[in-house]
Amino acid sequence: MTKIKVIKNILSANKNTADKNRRFFREKGILAVNLMGSPGSGKTSLLEKTFEAGAGDLRFAVIEGDLATSHDAKRIKRFGVPVVQINTHGGCHLDANMVGRALKELPLAHTDILVIENVGNLVCPADFDLGESKRIVVLSVTEGEDKIEKYPFMFKFAGCCILNKIDLLPYCNVSDERIKRTALKINKDLDFFKVSCKTGEGINRWLEWLRAKL
């Protein structure tokens, strides 16, 4: 019971800070998105392809969340996109406080879209509001067909699901259409995109979606 109470307190304190972040984003006219998914689903690759396709008219900034290393921040920097790396040192998700602190290090007066790439984890990040206006879940076809049913909480409150690695469909025993049907059964308002961050297929449609949210 103490455990439950403490978790409730943590979540309620997080919600307050998330609301503060959200007000800040609104005042600055920034679209903040929370990018989530399993380790290796392709979150950073999606950003790389997005910057390749969308650079020019859209000004991005990125917060990278990882247990350890600055690998992802380095990948983002190559595109000239401002980025802050957060290392959670074992922590399984970002929280609104971490994001709030990272905001101070970004040139947000010149940002249209802030992408917060969460720790690779299909469970815990779903519980922590960061102040984002949209949640995006990346799922790769190699993870199998049953992940949405087995990890429903992540998909229930997402605005958009990106099914990545569709170039590997011929080698995996999964149906992209069945995955899409399951996703829409769990969340009928979910926008669903099939992409390959290897070939670039589908990236433009996802970018249009992002643009429409501005």
Which parts of this chain interact with its own copies (CB under 8 A)? Answer: 2-3, 6, 10, 38-40, 66-69, 71, 90-92, 119-124, 127, 140, 142-144, 146-147, 149-153, 165, 167-168, 171-173, 198
CB of 3 to its own copies, least distance (A): 6
Taking the least distance from each CB to its own copies, the nearer of 28 and 175 is 175
CB of 214 to its own copies, least distance (A): 30
CB 163 within 8 A of CB 192: yes
Taking the least distance from each CB to its own copies, the nearer of 155 and 206 is 155
CB 120 within 8 A of CB 92: no
CB of 47 to its own copies, least distance (A): 14
Three-state helix/strand/coil letters over 138-202: EEEHHHCCCHHHHCHHHHHCCCEEEEECHHHHHHCCCCHHHHHHHHHHHCCCCEEEECCCCCCCC
Residue with tokens 């950003």: 47
Distance of CA 92 to the CA centre of its chain: 14
Residue with tokens 């059964």: 185
CA pair distance 125, 177, nearest whole angstrom: 26
Taking the least distance from each CB to its own copies, the nearer of 106 and 168 is 168
The amino acid sitting at 53 is A
CB of 93 to its own copies, least distance (A): 8
CB of 183 to its own copies, least distance (A): 15
Taking the least distance from each CB to its own copies, the nearer of 31 and 129 is 129
Taking the least distance from each CB to its own copies, the nearer of 50 and 85 is 85
